[in-house]
Chain A
């Protein structure tokens, strides 16, 4: 089977275009323009891979790249790692697990630091994905560290989302935040050769059923490839049912915009008398923190 490849100079230009948007040098349009238009039947398949740290996401991504290449298609990876809140720097080590693909011109791997998102998805990751699509990659895998709000932010980027976890040590699936059942298209219990794998998978299935969904729960051992073909098939199937995702993405973006605006408004009047009164009551233990937040929220609405 012929394996598609992307020309070396295009690798370079894509990388530079991503840097341009990452660093705010010029507009997204200018960056996109620097890449020659590719004529394609359909846009790239964007897969988000998220989950708690240590679940083996990078290894899963490494295996998925293998699947993509076996079909003769090209793969781009955007791997996001958290920036240090102290120095603003970052060590980006995700590509170690995928480095065997480094010589393959059909594979492009780019690490991005989350920068001011503080552990969340890099704000420009979405643009990086669109650029990779424009450069002609068939599949774009976005890997994020699953802490805080990140799992939810990946929604705005991906068509299909895989949530990867590992057999939990006794406390069920606590590591999976409630919001994930909403957005996951596939659940994966990785390191399935470890004790507790079946239990964890069952717990997840239970959780899925309770939320009225039919999300598949798969088990994999990414380190030796077990279960990966099934995962890839499930992803492709989930893409087929894609209508939801655009709506979901819009919903999420809207929610985020609302949250940001509310926070900005609240910050705007924090020094004013009504807000300070709330603080004083909180400091005197007359109200709880939760009640204080509600009170401030009221002020936001009445300030309109």
Chain B
């Protein structure tokens, strides 16, 4: 098993599969047949197939985890846990399901568990300082000349903090809808919720993010 752990696509079929799965488009409407084939092989004990599954979904899982959790270390831990759960529950995955929606759901659940755990440990060690968001973001002096880099960093930090202020369900909904680009119905499927509920959560999240950005801009202008 160990020698095959880090094998890449092992044959022409896998190369084609990798190319198909890397195609841009809606995250949940990729080549389901190819994914189903991989899942079937992995369920049968093909470790190379599961390796392929990880390779093709790692960026999505890592990005989603990072967006919800806000830092790389937690995102790594979350991704690892996500793949462990995928491996563990692969047998219960139904072929008529959307595989990436299933992976997203696992990712959301893992992130929720980690946030709960983090909240239980201590709010002081949270990477997102939700209560310290009234301060103007500090940008290192060396980067001032790089205006574009500065602006991007500021925006990223701003959105990170804004997302961190949201309740978890609203956070997951807005990340899936606006960041991951899923439709409202797809978000509802991932979160096992109704479209109406998801719309309500998205509306509330956008309002809070807009308010947060307005406050930040105002504080920034005053300072």
**Do A and B originate from a single complex?**
no
**What is A's interface to B at a CB cutoff of 8 Å?**
none
